[in-house]
Each structure stands twice: as structure tokens, then as C-alpha cells.
């Protein structure tokens, strides 16, 4: 059993590239990224990356958006550009 998320090396949240408050990043890291498998496997960023191969920066680990809603936002953003 992994003691930390297998996506740590490729996650913009973990690497500090997302503009979020530092205290939020620390909470996410300790609760999700460095937690038990039941924690990181429930991270929405982990789930979305598993499903579609990447995770947009607007998705936080505790996001309540469904994968369909996230995909819809991605499509909308592409149309808007
Ligand atoms: S934010 Fe989620 S996907 Fe990223 S390293 Fe942490 S647990 Fe893994």
C-alpha cells in the first residue's frame, strides 16, 4: 500500500504551481497527498487525472464537482478561447 499519492511528482498543487493560499496547500498536502490511500485516492484531482489523463488547475482535492461538470468546464473554456 502506498503511503503517499503516486501523482505527487506531476501535480501542480503539490509542486506549488497553483495560486492558492499557502495554508490551504499545506492542509491539502497533509490530508490528501501524504495521507493514507483512502485519503489520496478520494482526491478529486487524482480521480480526474486517472479518468482523463490530466487535471485542470481549477480542480481542488475536495471539489464537489462531478467529472462530467469538470469536463463541461474544460470544453466551455476551449470554446471561449
Ligand atoms: S493534490 Fe491529489 S493528485 Fe495531487 S498529489 Fe495531492 S493527492 Fe495526489
Looking at the CA of residue 5, tell me the nearest atom of ligand 1: 8
The model's pTM is: 0.91
Helix ranges (DSSP H) in 41-66: 44-52
Say how many Å lie between the CA of residue 33 and the centre of ligand 1: 5
Average pLDDT over all residues of the chain: 93
Which three cell numbers mark 7?
501523482
What pLDDT was estimated at residue 1?
Answer: 61
Say how many Å lie between the CA of residue 45 and the centre of ligand 1: 6
Percent of the chain with pLDDT over 90: 84
- Give nearest CA residue, ligand 1 atom 5: 8
Give the torsion sign (CA, 26, 3, 11, 9): positive
Residue ranges of the domains in the chain?
Answer: 8-80
Residue-wise pLDDT tens digits, 40-78: 999 999 999 999 899 999 999 999 999 899 999 989 887
Between 32 and 80, name the one with better pLDDT.
32
Amino acid at each position: 500500500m502506498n503511503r503517499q499519492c503516486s501523482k505527487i511528482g506531476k501535480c501542480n498543487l503539490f509542486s506549488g504551481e497553483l495560486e492558492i493560499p499557502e495554508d490551504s496547500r499545506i492542509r491539502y498536502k497533509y490530508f490528501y497527498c501524504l495521507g493514507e490511500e483512502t485519503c489520496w485516492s478520494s482526491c478529486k484531482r487524482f480521480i480526474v487525472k486517472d479518468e482523463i489523463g490530466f487535471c485542470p488547475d481549477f480542480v481542488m482535492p475536495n471539489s464537489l464537482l462531478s467529472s462530467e461538470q469538470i469536463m463541461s468546464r474544460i470544453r466551455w473554456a476551449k470554446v471561449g478561447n
